[in-house]
Amino acid sequence: MRSILVMNPKGGCGKSTIATNLAGYYAERKKNVVLVDYDPQASTMDWLAARPEDRPKIHGIAAWKDAVRVPRDAEVSIVDSPAGLHDPQMLSEFLRRAQSVIIPLLPSPMDMRAASRFLSELMALRRVVNQEVRIATVANRMRDHTLAALSLSEYLDTLRLPDGHKLPCLAVMRASQNYVHAAERGLSIFEFARSATLQDREQWAPLLRWLNSSRSQP
Ligand SMILES: Nc1ncnc2c1ncn2[C@@H]1O[C@H](COP(=O)(O)OP(=O)(O)OP(=O)(O)O)[C@@H](O)[C@H]1O
Ligand SMILES: [Mg+2]
């Protein structure tokens, strides 16, 4: 089973947006998807509750209160983590079952400062040092030609894995109402008309290629 964790302790950076869109993407591709929500805010479970009956089913687990029993036939597990996750022991616990970790980052000085603290905690964890998990970032809510976007790009260029290789940034996602509409309706952008979501799909492509390749697996 593929297991993907979306994580960044900074609130509002796009964890649930990425987790739900990924879930919709794999469900649309006829995979058995389990979506595990560790956040008592329950954004991901609310998204699932809004999902139309006629869309491919996604199995949800409200992991902040229920036991995590992953169905035997699950092919992809996507874990949405809560904001405020800093404790190294808790971080290790989340990483324990993950093959691939996606870290969304926003183009704001406050988010970048918070990310630096989180990334240094993350890079010191045993599973990361031993390359038992693969990590990538996603620049989210990027607006072209803004100073904020430029500083995030420059910041992303400086990030390194424990072995000295560059921490890959696999998608630059624009701010788009498509994400807002998709969130409201329990859908992913991959379930909207191709013509209306072409730019967003193109922005997801490198991340999806990475997730569908061995590069994202230990
Ligand atoms: N690329 C985007 N374009 C437009 N809106 C976005 C985008 N990404 C996220 N949003 C919106 O920003 C808000 C925060 O996103 P989201 O809930 O995914 O963040 P989060 O990291 O899960 O937050 P929390 O830490 O509170 O769980 C949501 O209203 C979401 O719809
Ligand atoms: Mg969330």
* Residues 52-68: tens digit of each pLDDT: 999 999 999 999 999 99
User: 83 is in which domain, residue-wise?
Assistant: 2-213
Which of 16, 38, 138, 203 is the best mutation target for the ligand 1 pocket, counting ligand atoms within 8 Å of the beta carbon and taking the most? Answer: 16
Residue 218 lies in a domain: no
Residue 166 lies in a domain: yes
Cα angle at 136 between 91 and 64, to 5 degrees?
Answer: 35
Q: Per-residue confidence at 4, pLDDT binned at 50, 70, 90?
A: very high
Q: What is the pLDDT of residue 179?
A: 98
| pLDDT over 90 percentage in the chain | 98
- Provide the CATH number for the domain around residue 128: 3.40.50.300
Q: Per-residue confidence at 145, pLDDT binned at 50, 70, 90?
A: confident
DSSP state for residue 125 in the 8-state scheme: S
Q: Per-residue confidence at 117, pLDDT binned at 50, 70, 90?
A: very high
Q: What is the pLDDT of residue 144?
A: 87
Domain count for the chain, please give it.
Answer: 1
Question: What is the overall mean pLDDT for the chain?
Answer: 96
Residue 158 lies in a domain: yes
Question: What mean pLDDT is predicted for residues 137-151?
Answer: 94
Whether the per-residue pLDDT at 33 is higher than 90: the answer is yes
Which of 13, 179, 189 is the best mutation target for the ligand 1 pocket, counting ligand atoms within 8 Å of the beta carbon and taking the most? Answer: 179
CA distances from 131 to 58, 60, 178, 208, 217 (A): 30, 29, 35, 20, 9
